[in-house]
Amino acid sequence: MTRQSSIPISRVVWFLSLGLVGCLADLVSKHLVFRHPSLHRGSEWWLWEGHVGIQKSLNEGALFGMGQGHVELFALFSFAAILAIPLWLFFFGAAQDRWLTVTLGCVMGGVLGNLYDRLGWAQLTWDRFDPSRAGERVYAVRDWILVQWNDQWVWPNFNIADALLVCGAALLLVQSFIVRADNSGSESSLESS
């Protein structure tokens, strides 16, 4: 319990604010894109022709469409992250590190945004996306950001939540190398003294 009291309240505020703002940005952007009547499944609207645009798609899997049809499993992983991240930060004291707190706040925003979709709270049905499943409720992540290099290289569609998750994972990786370098530097200085 002593670790909890030494964590600045600003870390809690940063974590909650980033998680909330990230989740809201994701959900609002998905809502705006998916309610737009002129965008049909598979059609594109280009911001930069052939490179960056908007295209609706539904993903019943995870990153890059892996694990299609296992929505319940990914929802379970999301609930585990929702419990584990604040526990690690605020009970075990990882929030002492500002960068880690900010990074995991972004990750939390991504987890919450995609969990919302996986639970079916977007109130979509498959009618406009897959006529063979008409009337069924959609339990899939709404993706809409399209990035490609002409037709030679096409990145799988994603959303703001996915971007938060990937950037958070990259920052965690970078941070692990920085911490490792700091630790090896302090070990060498101990050995030399």
- Options 130, 143, 151, 182, the catalytic residue: 143
Helix (H, G, I), strand (E, B) or coil at 1: coil
Helix (H, G, I), strand (E, B) or coil at 75: helix
Three-state SS for 115-146 is: HHHHCCCCCCEHHHCCHHHCCCECCCEEEEEE
Question: Catalytic: 162?
Answer: yes
Indicate the pairing of strand 45-48 with strand 153-158. unpaired
Task: Dig out the tokens for 96 from the structure.
Answer: 């002492």
- The residue behind tokens 């809201």 is 24
Q: Which residue, 2, 132, 114, is CA-closest to 58? A: 114
Task: Dig out the tokens for 67 from the structure.
Answer: 């694990």
Strand partners, 45: 54
Task: Dig out the tokens for 158 from the structure.
Answer: 């994603």
The Cα 70–Cα 56 span in angstroms is 20
- Options 26, 117, 162, 182, the catalytic residue: 162
Task: Dig out the tokens for 56 from the structure.
Answer: 């609706």
- The residue behind tokens 């022709």 is 49
Question: Catalytic: 143?
Answer: yes
Q: What are the catalytic residues?
A: 143, 162
